[in-house]
Structure 1
Amino acid sequence: MPVTPQEALQITSVLEQELDRRQRSITLWNDIYKGNQNLGFATDRFKAAFGGLFEGFSDNWSEVVCDAPSERLCPVGFRFGTGDEKDPPAADKGAQRIWQASNMDAWSQVAHTEASVKARSFVLVWADDPDADEVEPEITVEDATQCIVAYEPGSRRKRKAALKRFDGDDGYQYSTLYLRDELWKWRRQKATASGLILPSSMALSRWEPRGDRPDQQRIDNPLKRVPMVELRNRPRLIDDPTPEHRQVIPLQAALGKLIADMITASEAGAFPARWGTGIDLPKDPITGQEIDDPELWRLAVNKMLRASNPQARFGNFEAADLSNFVAGITLLTEHISALSRTPPTYFMGKIQNVSADALTAAEAGLTSKCRIKTTFLGEDWEEVLRLAFLVKGDTKRGNNPLAETIWRGVEYRTEAQHIDAVLKKKALGVPWRQLMEDAGYTPTQIDRMEAMLEQDANRAARALAFSGMTGETPGELEPGTEPAPQEEGALV
């Protein structure tokens, strides 16, 4: 049901307050992912002694934890079922065209990474050119610092409203409120200080209609559905979703502090200090005072120490043992691996004497986690494609609940292991097209191979027919050639 401008402003204000509440956590999670983090366990004495020496230092494993699952999540196609078991649906070519037109092969990976880092990412579906004769959908990935989706009370699926807020380069801040029946567009002038634009939370002016015409403020929503979809990482029933590296943030801070301590120890005690006793120092002939010249103790490859006193002794202090730090660092990385279910091989610089079965077992946790993610994210991507078909006016596929996302395999296997598994499935009677999907080919590649198989079969049939007419041994004809015509009266 349409709302009044005052009601639209009120909804915008409520969504904006919740969006502002999320900013601090999102910024923190993103900074840790990028390695912009302080030594969380450094004491005041440590900071006073070393100042900003370690300000730019970061041994960042949070990036590995976030990227490990997101890099394995790759949608390759979509099916839209018919409900008739006798007619199994193939990959939808219309969905593939929409997906490719919006460059979603690449941007879907960005959406997964953003959700992994910031707990949420958003996908907006709207018309590329609403005034065109043939409307085409445009799918864009949106950032969690700019967007928010509200759901119906008691529902985690039915979207009630959505808001996108962003800063322009003209001194204005813009926002768009998405409702089921309409869109409302606002702008406001940002507060400035000494010619600098202040952060969004300090924008003082009220929202006003964007543009000079009424139709630039309110737009009808022909989809009758909120066109923004939220991708949630690690969704919960009541609690908010969390980023992939949330549980390892304290370990990451401890790891950085321990490595900083190791660097400090290597600077102070890793090089053995020398000592000497019973050494007669030279004396000043005038004052009689001993001369303690530092140059006497600066050793080099072309220098040596000598003493006239036969009781003189020289020696070295023991260097600091850094192996204790290495053991602690190894322990923390193992904990990070276990908590995040990231394979230990991701944290190791080299792998020795590890069997293929052991590597597969080490990746079992990550593989299982990725399969669960494809279940939830697949539902979101299916809703995105439904919205895209609604933009094109295709209500059949736009309202089809039997959509399915086709994912590339989430486990890493050698080519030999992969093909061996496919051949065993073939022995069980699995259809050819399903075997090709299990082998990792995209729907486009499978269609292309299917056409090639038909061409090969046609050439083989022509060659067989030619051999039957001439009595020659069957052979493969060159592409584009036909059997030679038979003379009149020839025996067949």
Structure 2
Amino acid sequence: MAFSASPLALARQLLAILNRDGDRLRRIDDYLHGRHADPYMPAMADDEYRLLAKRSISNWLPLLVGTPAQALYVDGFRPGMVAGGLPAQAETTSDEWAHWQRSRLDARQAAVYRGALTYGHSFTVTERDSAGRVRTKGLSALKTAALFEDPANDDTPHAALTVTAWPSPDAPGRARMWDAREEFAVSFKSLDDAKGVTVSRVSRHGAGECPVTRFAALVDLEGRTLGVIEPMICLQDRINQTIFDLLVAQTYASVKVRTATGMAPPIQRDPETGDPVLDGQGNPIPLPINHNARRFLFAEDPDVRFGSLDETPLGGFIDSVDMSIRHLAAVSQTPPHHLLGQIANLSAEALLAAETSLSRKIAEFRTAFGESWERVFRLAAELAGHGGAEDYQGEVIWRDMESRSLAQAADALGKLREQLGIPAKGLWRRVPGVTQTEFEDWEELAEDEDSVGQLASALTRATSDSRSETYAEAA
């Protein structure tokens, strides 16, 4: 797709994208935060019905975002090949990792993943701060748009824009825009007012391409992005409707109804005349009957008959809710026990099988997000002026977040060491929960132990040689 070279034309296109996608993304945002569509209710519903509808909202969607996001954690970066063709080692003292720590991405990376999983995509921008240091920060999909020549395959945007202030009656909206060379300041009256857009040049950003990077959870060959929330909205509405029906049945029909036939209720009478008190339509006004589980019903007339109407069983509603949640788990590739909280009597093999689908989904997200982080590291290297700007062989290191016991991991790693001959140091990263800093500490301790061992061996050999010479002289 060809784009106009005019910054004003690019700004108009990017604002039009935000306007086009705004309703869909806001609907996704509403469902994420529990602002769901009301369940169906009668047109003449009273306030009590509406209160039950409000209480029927049971928001499961944040769990669908949080479950994979909590398994995504970048713990290091391994550059590409170094001199001699040997693979480089990940180090916390590298320039790439210094940029990561300076940007505080240990904590802020989670917001990037959650945004991409929620809306289908999120963004980061890599730039120099006022002190000249390179930093990367996240950008919201609700306020950011990017243009790609080939949105399905390109990782470098032609241009990108993020809104910094929405327009108000007193002031126009403001935005920042980047192309392959420069940054621009954009002013606009509204997203759909192309004539109210103005653009002014700010400065060159210093990178050889647009410094904005897209993080997409899923991109099809049409360039469309899809998150985990939008496909689940129908199932979420079904769960809300079932819970609403359950609350209605629980409120109005979950108790036995006492009935009486052959008698009329007592009516209100004028205390002076004894005449019945009539309502506006000429009917006697009955007295309220104070009846509860502690009172008995009796009548003087032998023709009066008492009875009861059975309560509505709630088991069917509960089963329906359970079935809908299971459907939600299956379609979203989320283990059912994560949603239902039922993990009793599950063997280790059954638990592993239940987690397999989620593990595959997380591996897919890691592959997509890893490519985006690698571009971020290349941009940071170019802006900082060190040699990683063309490093297309580098890769991020994801922390192993699988739930395995340390005893199981130690047993498996020991077998790999003994049966396959894999060096022990090569298995250190497989230890559950190990961080890059701990890994480097282990390396230093191993080197210290090795040095001590070599010194002890040298002293032992020297002592043995000295004793041998002494024996020889004595002989």
TM-score, normalized by the shorter chain, greater than 0.5: yes
* Conservation of the 8 A alpha-carbon contact between 2:217 and 2:226: yes
SS of the residue corresponding to residue 298 of structure 1 reads coil
* Structure 1 match to 2:24: 25
CA distance in 2, matches of 1:242, 1:274: 54
2:198 maps to which residue? 207
Give CA deviations for 1:146-185 in whole Å, capped at 9, x if unaligned.
Answer: 2122223585234211112220798342222211122222
SS in 2 for 1:66: helix
Aligned ranges 1:36-185 → 2 under 5 Å? 36-39=35-38, 41-42=40-41, 44=43, 50-51=49-50, 53-55=52-54, 57-82=56-81, 87-92=86-91, 93-129=94-130, 132=131, 135-153=132-150, 155-167=153-165, 171-185=171-185
The residue number in structure 1 matching 2:281 is none
412-421 or 60-69: bigger deviation: 412-421
SS at match of 2:6: helix
Which whole-Å deviations, capped at 9, do the CAs of 1:464-490 have from their partners, x for residues lacking one? 77889999xxxxxxxxxxxxxxxxxxx
Distance 1:248 1:22, change over 3 A: same
1:294 corresponds, among 277, 288, 296, to 288
Tell me if 1:319 matches 2:319: no
Q: Offset at 1:393? A: 0.5
Report if the CA contact (8 A) 1:77-1:95 is conserved: no
Distance 1:277 1:432, change over 3 A: same
TM-score (norm 1): 0.81
Which residue of 1 is the match for residue 469 of structure 2?
A: none
Partners of 1:121 and 1:401 in 2: how far apart? 22
Alignment gaps of 5+ in structure 2:
277-283, 465-475
Q: Does structure 1 residue 450 correspond to structure 2 residue 443? A: yes
Contact 2:15 2:191 in 1 (8 A): no
Amino acid at match of 1:242: L
Aligned partner of 2:280 in structure 1 is: none
Structure 2 residue 332 is matched with structure 1 residue 333: no
Classify 1:42/1:390 alpha carbon distance in 2 versus 1 (closer, same or farther; 3 Å): farther
1:305 aligned partner = 297
Aligned equivalent of 1:402: 393
What is the SS of the residue equivalent to 2:346? coil
Please list every run of 5 or more consecutive structure 1 residues that lacks an aligned counterpart in the other structure: 191-198, 210-216, 472-492
Moved more, 35-44 or 200-209: 200-209
Distance 1:108 1:48 in 2: 44
Give the direction of change, closer, same or farther, for the CA distance of 1:173–1:281 in structure 2 (3 Å limit): closer
Pair 311,384 (structure 1): closer, same or farther in 2 beyond 3 Å: same
Cross-structure match for 2:338: 346
Distance 2:373 2:451 in 1: 39
Residue 250 of structure 1, CA deviation: 0.6
Indicate the percent of aligned positions where both proteins have the same amino acid.
25
**CA deviation string 1:70-100 (max 9, x = no partner):** 1111111111111678522211432222111
* Shift in alpha-carbon separation, 1:412–1:240, aligned structure 2, 3 A: same
Change (3 A) 1:200 1:8: closer
Report the counterpart of residue 484 of structure 1 in structure 2: none
Q: 1:418 aligned to 2:419?
A: no
SS of 2:352's equivalent in the other structure is: helix
CA deviations 1:232-278 (Å, max 9, x no partner) are 11111115111112222111111101100110111110011112346
1:253 corresponding residue in structure 2: 237
Matched with 2:377 is 385
- Indicate conservation of the 8 Å contact 2:160/2:177, yes or no: yes
Corresponding residue SS for 1:306: coil
Amino acid at match of 2:187: R
The whole-number CA distance in structure 2 between the counterparts of 1:380 and 1:91 is 18
Contact map agreement 1:367 1:410 (CA 8 A) in 2: no
Deviation at 1:57, TM superposition (A): 4.2
Contact 2:52–2:248 (8 Å) recurs in 1: no
SS in 2 for 1:29: helix
Deviation string 1:332-363 (CA, Å, 9 cap, x unpaired) is 11111111110001111342211121111011
- In the superposition, relative to structure 1, how do residues 304 and 86 fare at CA in structure 2: closer, same or farther (>3 Å)? same
Question: Secondary structure at 1:397's aligned position in 2?
Answer: coil
- RMSD over equivalenced CA pairs, Å: 3.3
Distance 2:444 2:349 in 1: 37
How far apart, in 2, do the equivalents of 1:222 and 1:231 lie? 22
Partner of 1:229: 213
Deviation by residue 1:262-307 (Cα, 9 ceiling, x = unmatched): 1011111001111234669779898698996433x42353x43334
Contact 1:41/1:253, CA 8 A, preserved across alignment: no
d(CA) in 2 for partners of 1:268, 1:175: 54
Give the drift of 1:186. 2.7
Distance 1:415 1:318, change over 3 A: farther
Helix, strand or coil at the partner of 2:388: helix
Match of 1:434 in 2: 426
Q: Is the 8 A contact 2:12 2:197 kept in 1?
A: no
Asked if 2 retains the 8 angstrom alpha-carbon contact of 1:41 and 1:257, the reply is: yes
Deviations 1:295-334, CA, capped at 9 Å, x for gaps: 3x42353x43334456655443211101111111111111
Equivalent pairs, count: 445
User: Who is 1:240 aligned against?
Assistant: 224
For 1:436 and 1:359, the matched residues in 2 are separated by 25
Query: How far apart are the structure 2 equivalents of 1:460 and 1:254?
Result: 67
CA contact (8 A) 1:433 1:446 kept: no
Secondary structure at 1:159 match in 2:
coil
The amino acid of 1:222's aligned partner reads G
Question: How far is 1:409 from its partner?
Answer: 2.3
> For residues 443 and 201 of structure 1, do their structure 2 counterparts lie closer, same or farther at Cα, with a shift above 3 Å needed?
same
Q: Does the 8 Å CA contact 2:120/2:218 hold for their aligned counterparts?
A: yes
Q: CA–CA distance in 1 between the matches of 2:158 and 2:36?
A: 37
